[in-house]
Each structure stands twice: as structure tokens, then as C-alpha cells.
Amino acid sequence: MPFDPWKDINEKILKCRRLKTDKERIACLENLFGEIRDGMVANVLGEEYEAVGDIESARKYFRMAEELFPLQDYKDQARRALGRLESTPIGASRRTEQEERTAAPVAIDLAEIDPAKTLIVVGCTKTKVWDMAPDAPEFVPARCAYKGQDFIRFLNWAESEAVQLEKKGFRWVILSAKYGFLEPWHPIANYDIPMEDADVAISPETLKAQTRQVKPGKAGQSKAKAGRLADYRIVICVNCPKTYIERVQAVFCDAKVTSV
């Protein structure tokens, strides 16, 4: 099989983006950019820096991405990112490392809720890994596939040293208009389906059925993380549009549903 440089680069980018902390991801991508000086790596670095609030570095890498991308569509993508950042003052957006670790993009006080009773539902995003890396594998774990800024901020917060959402026993799933409730590591393929399109979006009946399915537990895993979604009494919707919240409310009619 002939060597595919684009596939090789995208696999290396995905490897970096699977790292748990923003510091690790950025360091890995910086090293990769130093090795190959590629436009896609620069663009992903811009996204990572934007997600942690370092707007100056984000602009720097989006500019380099625009310069290095060989195709006009990708250059336009980097240019749009720069336009998005124009209204963000450099000085006002920078945070210290400690501030970033403790700053939550969602207003959830974990100390006030019981992980055994609480489910966190995160909205999917239109932007996916295939928009930035067309040669990405056909199937990618959901937590690595969604690339909307709100989703990335949630993931960075959830995996930060100060939060460690999963280690504290909290279960979270992604709500997708195609797949329904997704476990974070469940592989998905590219799609573009709006929840508002009743002809193609997942139905409330199918969502309800998903909540009754029992997830096989792993050795040593708590019942809360292995049981049915329907058993949760509190559901917190994060970054969910109105239509998504309405779906959750209809499915979890016996639970307290809130949104942040």
C-alpha cells in the first residue's frame, strides 16, 4: 500500500488530540508542527489555543495555517477563524495556567450533586474532525470526532486535573441527531443531520429505547456508570440547543432536567 502523507499527518494530529490535558495536547502539536510545519497542524493548534483562551497564540497559528494550506477552501477556513477572533481583545482573553485549570466553561458545581443519580448530556456539534481532516479514518471515537469550540471547552474542563469528571464517578454522554445518546468512546462516522428534521433525525421513541438499554459494565466499574440511562434522576444538559433539551425532557420525563 503506497504511503499517504495526509493520512499520516492526520493520524498524528488525532494522537495528540486524544491526550487528556490541554497542556499535553498543545505540547504534542507544537512538537509535530516543529517537525513538519504543516497547515493542518497549525490550524488545529489555533483551535487548541483558542479553546484555552490564548487568543494571541491562536491568531498566530491561524495566520500560519492560512499561509501554509495549499488549497483555497482550507485557506478560507483559517481566514474565517481569524475573523472570529477579531472581536476578542488579546490581553483580556489570556489566562494563567492555574486559572485555566479551574475555570469551568459550564456552571456545574460537582460538589453539590451525586454522581450516582446524575447524568450529563452534552450536545454534539456540526463541526467534526472530517471538516478539518478529510482523510481522517472513516470511524472516530465520538469524543475525538466533535470539534465545535463549546464541545472542546467542555472536554478540556471535564478532563482537567481540577475536575476529572469521570474519575469522580460522573457519567456523561453525547446527544447526536443521528446516533442518539453516545458513550464518549463510541465510534461514529461523518454525518450532517439536524435534530429539527423529523424525517432523518433520531426519533424520540428510539431515544427512549436507548435509555432502557443496559450498558455492559467493566471490572470494578460502578453501577452508576454501567447501568441504564433511564435510572438517572437528575439530567444536566450542557451546550444543548432548544430542540435537544426538548428531546431530553420528553425522554427523561421522570427526572429533573436542567440546562447550562
For residue 251, the model assigns a pLDDT of 96
Mean pLDDT of 77-85: 84
The long-range contacts involving 248-255, CB below 8 angstroms and separated by at least 24 positions, are 248/121, 248/175, 250/204, 250/207, 251/204, 251/207, 251/208, 251/211, 252/211, 255/119
Residues 59, 141 within the same domain: no
Claim to verify: residue 89 and residue 115 sit in the same structural domain: no
Separation in Å, CA 206 to CA 178, 182, 247, 249: 11, 13, 11, 14
Which of the listed residues 46, 68, 100 is the one where a domain comes to its end?
100
Query: Are 10 and 122 in the same domain?
Result: no
Pairing of strands 234-238, 256-259: parallel
The DSSP bridge pattern shows strands 118-123 and 171-176 to be parallel
**pLDDT at res. 137:** 85
Residue 104 has pLDDT above 90, yes or no: no
Task: Identify the top-confidence range among 11-15, 78-82, 123-127.
Answer: 123-127
Per-residue pLDDT tens over the stretch 198-241: 899 999 999 999 999 987 555 444 444 558 999 999 999 999 99
Strand, coil or helix: 154 = helix
C-alpha cell at 170: 460522573
Range 151-178 average pLDDT:
90
- Please say if the pLDDT value at position 15 is more than 90: no
Q: Which of 148-152, 153-157, 183-187, 222-226 has the least mean pLDDT?
A: 222-226
Rounded to whole angstroms, the Cα distance separating 98 from 230 reads 37
> What digits encode the pLDDT tens for the residues 107-128?
788 988 999 999 999 999 998 9
Q: What is the mean pLDDT of the chain?
A: 84
Where in the sequence is the domain holding 199, given as residue range(s)?
104-259
Lowest-pLDDT choice from 20-34, 74-88, 93-107, 210-224: 93-107
| Full-model pTM | 0.64
Partners of 31 in the beta sheet?
A: none
Of 20-34, 73-87, 181-195, 210-224, the range with the highest mean pLDDT is 181-195
pLDDT at 84: 78
Cα separation values, 153 from 26, 69, 140, Å: 14, 25, 19
Residues 16 and 93 in one domain: yes
Report the alpha-carbon distance of residue 28 to residue 152 in Å, rounded: 17
Domain boundary among 37, 66, 100: 100
Residues 62 and 83 in one domain: yes
pLDDT at 159 over 90: no
Q: Do 129 and 233 share a domain, yes or no? A: yes
Q: By C-alpha distance, which of 113, 130, 140 is closest to 234?
A: 113
Total domains present in the chain: 2
